[in-house]
């Protein structure tokens, strides 16, 4: 009888020890964040401030991600796009390009322009420029300005297009449509084409677009217009305006502008 009691007590103690151990392990998956115990799984993006406090970098957690995936699996197109994006960006969970392509393709095939643009970007990053162009075009045709701008940059890339002639008329047409839609990044790009490309040169239009791009705080436009004022090309030479524009570009941490200002300071201090 005594032996049975000892065995039973031993089993209870072992079981209790296991439960205690399991409970401790489970507790380790929680962290105190913003006053709450939050479940932290492997892919949760956490940061720590200078006081050692945790904070969540990603707005996604296991619960919201599970809900999103469930909707995507049921055929919800925006959820499929977002799920693909999360796998593409690695925002939550960890980056997985195979799963990203799978979900983005599903949404893209159903004419989701955002998914089409993101799928194109994925192909571009993998060096598959033909498929990237195809999907950028589809997204652009669906009115996605960011995709249209990326399409232009892809078409202008000499390394990508070294085996075929660049259709400059198409590029200008695409850029003009972006400018008409007030898509700010396109102003400098089109200005550059009109000012630098001999076949498409239109200096008056280029200067107009460049000035507008400067108003939009485009750092490349600031640097380019600063050069024009410094050299007196297309505008009256004005070193004060040139320095102001170089300073604006330098404040945005543009290395060329910083070097230009340092060079001027050095020259002004020479005896």
What is the tens place of the pLDDT at every residue in 84-124? 998 998 877 778 999 999 999 999 999 999 999 999 999 99
Q: Torsion angle, CA of 257/262/267/271, rounded to 10 degrees?
A: 170
The two structure tokens encoding residue 261: 């200002």
pTM summary value: 0.73
Q: Which of 238, 159, 228 is nearest to 192 (CA)?
A: 228
Q: Are 108 and 49 part of one and the same domain?
A: no
Residue 128 or residue 158, greater confidence: 128
Q: Are 41 and 73 part of one and the same domain?
A: no
Q: Which domain holds residue 45?
A: 30-59
Q: Is the dihedral of CA 104, 108, 109, 110 positive or negative?
A: positive
The mean of the pLDDT values for the chain is 82
Q: Which residues fall within 8 angstroms of residue 235, CB to CB, at 6 or more apart?
A: 207, 225, 228, 229
Does the residue 177 lie in any domain? no
**CB–CB of 68/75 below 8 Å?**
no
Q: Are 89 and 107 part of one and the same domain?
A: yes
CA-CA distances (angstroms) from residue 228 to 7, 225, 260?
A: 92, 5, 14
Q: Which tens digits make up the pLDDT trace of 41-66?
A: 444 455 555 555 555 555 667 788 88
Does the residue 257 lie in any domain? no
Residue 96 class from Cβ within 10 Å (0-12 exposed, 13-18 middle, 19+ buried)? middle
- Residue at which a domain ends, from 136, 166, 196: 166
Dihedrals phi, psi of 210, to nearest 5 degrees: -65, -45
CA 156 to CA 150: how far, in whole Å? 10
Does the residue 206 lie in any domain? no
């Amino acid at each position: 009888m005594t032996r049975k009691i000892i065995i039973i007590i031993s089993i209870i103690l072992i079981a209790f020890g296991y439960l205690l151990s399991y409970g401790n392990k489970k507790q380790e998956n929680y962290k105190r964040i913003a006053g709450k115990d939050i479940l932290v799984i492997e892919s949760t993006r956490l940061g720590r401030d200078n006081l050692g406090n945790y904070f969540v970098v990603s707005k996604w957690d296991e619960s919201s991600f599970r809900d999103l995936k469930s909707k995507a699996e049921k055929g919800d197109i925006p959820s499929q796009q977002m799920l693909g994006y999360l796998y593409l960006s690695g925002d939550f969970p960890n980056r997985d390009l195979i799963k990203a392509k799978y979900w983005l393709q599903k949404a893209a095939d159903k004419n989701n322009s955002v998914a089409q643009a993101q799928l194109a970007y994925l192909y571009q990053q993998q060096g598959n420029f033909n498929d990237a162009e195809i999907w950028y075009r589809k997204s652009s045709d669906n009115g996605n300005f960011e995709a249209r701008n990326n399409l232009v940059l892809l078409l202008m890339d000499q390394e990508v297009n070294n085996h075929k002639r660049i259709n400059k008329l198409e590029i200008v047409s695409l850029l003009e449509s972006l400018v008409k839609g007030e898509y700010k990044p396109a102003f400098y790009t089109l200005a550059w084409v009109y000012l630098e490309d001999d076949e498409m040169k239109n200096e008056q239009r280029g200067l107009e677009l460049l000035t507008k791009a400067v108003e939009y705080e485009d750092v490349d436009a600031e640097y380019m217009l600063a050069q024009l004022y410094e050299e007196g090309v297309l505008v009256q030479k004005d070193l004060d305006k040139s320095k102001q524009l170089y300073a604006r570009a330098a404040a945005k941490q543009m290395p060329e502008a910083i070097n230009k200002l340092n060079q001027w300071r050095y020259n002004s201090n020479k005896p």
